Structure 1
Amino acid sequence: MSISDIEKLISLLADFGLGMLVGGGIIFLFIKFLIPSYLTEKAKNLATKEDIADITDKVESVKTDYAKILEEIRNNYQLKFAAIEREKNTKKEVYLEAVEAIVRSQNMITNFCNLNMLEQEITSCISNDAGKIARVQVVGESETVKAVTSFMAAVGTATLDLMLERSELMLRKNEIQIIENLRTRSQQEIDQYIALMKNLNLEGNSDLRLRETINNCFNYEQEQVTKYNLELDQLWLVQNSKHMEFTKHCMDTFFNVSSLLPSTVLSIRSELDLDIAPEDYISIFNENLEKGKEVFDDFINKVANKNA
């Protein structure tokens, strides 16, 4: 209904008198001001409820999406954390075995001065432990790999040098063994000739040629024993001196190679988060190393004084 229609309505009502005119005015005011205002407010309220519902749906959707994202992040974190823990446990297992193998390789150097051990026995630990040490190449970081490689290279170089020097001692040792066996056999022959002479005496055998033959053989074997003793004395004199020098060389090599160990241990401890101040560890290590040198030097001096 337009304004002109309403005015026509009021004009019509005026024909019916004043009372009708007043009533018409009220109706006009109601239609012009109250109804539009009511409809406008009603529309606003309806729009507001719809907006709120839409906003609520969006908020809930965002919350749901956020929860999914948060759960995914949590799962990814747990997977990454589990992977890190597995890697650390794997490293720990590898490094503990590797350090034990490295120490055995280090101690192997001192065994070279034991001439009663075969070279295969001495170097067997390197063959047996090579795989354990090689695993460091797979799981180790660059600093650890470099430290282990440098240490094992030093062990390898020392092994070759000591094996070459030891070969001279082993050849002399074998020569001594051969001569001692010959001396033992000559001594056994002497004992047999003495027994024959006793039997001849008991039997009253006076065969001079037989007695002379036995006596000549006895004298020969006696001369052989004397010769073997002289040779052995000379060989042992050289062997003991060279063996002492070689023992010193072995121990000096051991201490030199040992000085490379701290960098390996510190690098491994760092990867395993086993914190220790490097200067503290090196101080402890060097202190024990110096004590070892003092003990060995004291032992060498006691042996030298005893043989003087």
Structure 2
Amino acid sequence: MNDTSIYIIILQVIILIAIYVFRNSVPTFLKEKAKNIATKQDIGKITSEIESVKSEFNKDLEILKSNLSLKKQASFSIQENKRILIYELVETFNTWLYSIVNFSFSGYNIQNIGEIKTHRKNLEKHKLDFNVIENKLNIFYNNKEFDELKKNLTIETLKMQYLLDQAISEYELKLYEKHHLEIEDYYERTLAQNNIQTEIFEITGKYYKEMTELYKKTNSLNLEFTRYLKNELEKDILK
């Protein structure tokens, strides 16, 4: 056997071995390759789904944060408005109360009697201001104990204003009566005027006495009412 024949035989063996290896290895490699590709595709799909869920979660989270922020702001706004209105309620009430208490009949006569009417109009305005703040506060604050204290205080204050209104009406009537006496005789007219003046003193004296008693009770209720509101404000601050 010559060298050429040997080379041909060796080449044939190598080809057979190569065919065997290719037949058994390549399909496995291709399968693994295809499997890897499929796996990568699945992972990519899963990752995409996770990112989508994460994105939706983040959106929901932002909405939740926004809602919580708005809720917190709303809560703060309610408490802040409540505190402001409590201050205003105390202020408007005391303005109304002291406008009643501080009224004095001294210095009035038939020439400046119009100033009394102005004072009465101011009293009504102060009462209205108090009622307006009261109604506003009811939007932010509802409490039975508060309502009861406020009701009792308002009732007593209205009694005081009614007492003042009655005294002013009687006072005005006597001033007109004193000024418009149709008595020609000087002595008799002077005597009649003195009698009317005595009646005026009796009216004002009775008024001051009754007003003092009413004010004692009203002031006691006002102190209780103010202490209660002060405690409520302190509770809000500590929250």
Q: Which portions of structure 1, spanning 4 or more consecutive aligned residues, are displaced by more than 6 angstroms?
A: none
TM-score w.r.t. length of structure 2: 0.66
- Structure 1 counterpart of 2:227, from 213, 235, 252: 252
2:49 equivalent in structure 1: 72
What is the Cα deviation at residue 34 of structure 1? 7.6
Would the aligned equivalents of 1:166 and 1:246 in 2 still touch at CA under 8 Å?
no
2:120 equivalent in structure 1: none
Would the aligned equivalents of 2:83 and 2:233 in 1 still touch at CA under 8 Å?
yes
Q: Tell me, which stretches of 5 or more residues in structure 2 are unaligned?
A: 98-125
2:76 equivalent in structure 1: 99
What is the Cα deviation at residue 253 of structure 1? 0.6
2:146 equivalent in structure 1: 158
2:65 equivalent in structure 1: 88
Would the aligned equivalents of 2:149 and 2:221 in 1 still touch at CA under 8 Å?
no
Q: Tell me, which stretches of 5 or more residues in structure 1 are unaligned?
A: 1-21, 130-151, 198-206, 265-308
**Higher RCO by CA contacts (8 Å cutoff, separation 6 or greater):** 2
Q: Percent identity?
A: 12
Tell me, yes or no, if structure 1 residue 189 matches structure 2 residue 200.
no
TM-score w.r.t. length of structure 1: 0.53
What is the Cα deviation at residue 257 of structure 1? 1.5
Q: Distance in 1 between matches of 2:29 and 2:21?
A: 12
Quick one: structure 1 residues 187 and 106, their matched pair in 2 at CA, closer, same or farther if it must change by over 3 Å? same
Q: For the aligned residues, what is the CA RMSD?
A: 3.4
- Structure 1 counterpart of 2:208, from 216, 233, 239: 233
Q: Distance in 1 between matches of 2:42 and 2:195?
A: 108
Quick one: structure 1 residues 215 and 159, their matched pair in 2 at CA, closer, same or farther if it must change by over 3 Å? same
Q: Output one character per residue of 1:209-268: Cα deviation in whole Å (capped at 9) or x when no partner.
A: x984x657644542332122112211332344344433322221122212332564xxxx
Q: Distance in 2 between matches of 1:243 and 1:165?
A: 6
1:178 equivalent in structure 2: 166
Tell me, yes or no, if structure 1 residue 117 matches structure 2 residue 92.
no
Q: Which structure's CA Rg is the greater one?
A: 1
- Structure 2 counterpart of 1:169, from 146, 150, 157: 157
2:122 equivalent in structure 1: none
**Which one-letter code corresponds to 2:155 in the other structure?**
S
**Which one-letter code corresponds to 1:185 in the other structure?**
L
Would the aligned equivalents of 1:176 and 1:232 in 2 still touch at CA under 8 Å?
yes
